[in-house]
Structures are given as C-alpha cells and as structure tokens.
Amino acid sequence: QVKDCLALALPGPHVFLLVLQVGRFTQGESEMLGHKPLKINDYVAGAHSALQDFIRKCWSRFYVLNVNKSHSGLSYPQVKELLSGIDKLVASHGGQAYLVKRFSLQALQERNNVTAERNEGAYLLRDN
C-alpha cells in the first residue's frame, strides 16, 4: 500500500503529516494543573519513550492543533499556520519532493501505471 501511495504521489510527497491525539485530561489533572493547559514541550518531555523516539526521527518537528469542545473543527488561523509551516518546510528543501531511496523511480512509475490500469478497469466494470 505504501508503494501505491508513493506511486500516486510522483515525483514524490513533499511532507508526511501524521495526526496524533494527545492524552485526555481528567478532572483531577485539570485541577492539579490549575486550569492551565499543559505546554506541548512539557507533554512531549513526559511522553512514552516510543513517542519521543518518533519525534526525534522527525527532526523534532511537530505542530500542535488545538481542537476544543466548543468548536467542532479547526479554526482558520490554525489551518493557515499549519499550511504556512508546510510551505516553509518544502521551501527549505528547495521544493524538492521527498526522495524514497527504498524504491526506484522507475519501479514507482510502473506501479503507478498498474494502479491506474486497475482503477480504470474497476471504473469500466461499474459502468456496465
């Protein structure tokens, strides 16, 4: 499946965006923190070692989206800031796509052709 995703994103993805939910606060934890939200750096510092290792592998780059109960989604400023951060990251790499050394460009292009043919065949079957 990874090969299919990479093949469809040729010449390659510019960023990988992984969304995780941080732990939920209980009423007791909220009272203990004096109703002050925990800073993300403090949360990461006390997080499980597997999460800390993952963040280190991502060059310690992460972004916080704050979705509270009063809003059903993200605010426009948060989305705008996230997209701006992605644009800056892409620009810092000279606009180059992420190089997938594990798979050759030719193999991904062939996989893209196979995936496109498979999808076209499925579409034709649905029309009949």
Q: What is the pLDDT of residues 53-101, one digit of tens each?
A: 988 988 888 888 877 666 667 788 888 999 999 899 889 888 888 766 6
Cβ-based neighbours of 47, under 8 Å, separated by 6 or more? none
What is the pTM for the complete model shown? 0.58
12 φ, ψ to 5°? 145, 160
Choose from 69-73, 76-80, 102-106, 124-128 the range with maximum mean pLDDT: 76-80
Do residues 43 and 36 lie in contact, with contact meaning Cβ atoms separated by under 8 Å? no
Report the alpha-carbon angle 81-82-83, nearest 5: 95
Whole-angstrom Cα distance, residue 67 to residue 50? 24
Q: What is the pLDDT of residues 8-63, one digit of tens each?
A: 777 778 888 877 777 665 566 556 565 566 688 888 888 888 888 988 988 888 88
Quick one: pLDDT at residue 47?
83
